[in-house]
């Protein structure tokens, strides 16, 4: 099994989306979504922009994968379709893509333009991997992200850099054991709101690398 670790630059509750009892990664990180398999782990560490370096925002054990169209039509994930005039959780739904006549359709969502129209750059990035990662065994800490012991991060030579790193599970044994030992009570729980949950109505565009409030 592999362990994918990356820096979470933005934490709205959109990518990943930990709501409705299942943690999903359906947007952003196309390489991770393309390569991660059932049984692998995906771990998001806090970034400098969130003032959370060395802290773990989430960890998800991949228990399923599906295409965007499968995700769109699966009744289990209907609640993950965004409703922009709904609650914060509803606004941040990540079930935003499906195909019609071979073309991608994007719902009005966190990844749309400020006026709600499709953002072609986000569509291109997100659909670069037609794959959604599903986890029914996850830890989501949000703004209460705990600090991972420095000795554990040093052991895997973790550094706070852009992109993602891939390890074999035995290389991250201490890190995975730390989750199970010290955080077992938090499995499948939303410990705290996302760092940027109060900005749930905001939009993000990868072309501008900008958040539109």
pLDDT digits over 172-207, tens only? 999 999 998 999 999 999 999 999 999 999 999 999
Q: What is the pLDDT of residue 33?
A: 98
For residue 97, give the nearest of 76, 65, 119, 64 by alpha carbon. Answer: 119
DSSP state string for 52-95: -BTBEEEEEE--EEE-HHHHHH-GGGGGGS--TTS-HHHHT---
Place of tokens 């893509």: 97
Q: What is the pLDDT of residue 160?
A: 81
3-state secondary structure of 97: strand
Residue 117, C-beta contacts closer than 8 angstroms, at least 6 positions apart: none
* Distance (Å, whole) CA 97 – CA 27: 9
Mean pLDDT of 8-14: 96
Which tokens is 154 given?
A: 């040093």
Which tokens is 206 given?
A: 């990868």
Mean pLDDT of 36-56: 96
pLDDT of 161 strictly over 80: no
* Distance (Å, whole) CA 31 – CA 139: 22
Better pLDDT: 31 or 213: 31
Which tokens is 98 given?
A: 């499906």
Dihedral sign (CA 111, 114, 118, 123): negative
pLDDT of 159 strictly over 90: no
pLDDT of 113 strictly over 90: yes
Better pLDDT: 160 or 83: 83
Place of tokens 């996850």: 138
Grade residue 36 by pLDDT with cuts at 50, 70 and 90: very high
Mean pLDDT of 134-149: 97
pLDDT of 140 strictly over 80: yes
């Amino acid at each position: 099994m592999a362990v994918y670790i990356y820096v979470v630059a933005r934490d709205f509750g959109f990518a990943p989306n930990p709501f409705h009892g299942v943690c999903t990664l359906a947007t952003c990180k196309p390489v991770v979504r393309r390569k991660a398999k059932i049984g692998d782990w995906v771990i998001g560490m806090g970034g400098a922009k969130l003032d959370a370096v060395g802290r773990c925002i989430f960890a998800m054990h991949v228990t399923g994968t599906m295409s965007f169209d499968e995700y769109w039509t699966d009744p289990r994930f209907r609640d993950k379709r965004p409703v922009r005039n709904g609650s914060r959780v509803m606004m941040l739904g990540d079930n935003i893509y499906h195909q019609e006549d071979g073309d991608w359709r994007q719902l009005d969502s966190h990844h749309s333009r400020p006026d709600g129209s499709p953002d072609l750059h986000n569509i291109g990035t997100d659909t670069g991997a037609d794959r959604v990662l599903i986890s029914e065994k996850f830890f989501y800490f949000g703004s209460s992200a705990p600090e991972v012991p420095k000795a554990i991060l040093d052991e895997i030579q973790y550094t706070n850099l852009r992109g993602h790193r891939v390890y074999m599970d035995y290389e991250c044994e201490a890190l995975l054991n730390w989750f199970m030992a010290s955080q077992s009570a938090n499995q499948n729980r939303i410990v705290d709101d996302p760092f940027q949950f109060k900005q749930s109505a905001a939009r993000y565009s990868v072309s501008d690398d900008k958040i539109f409030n």
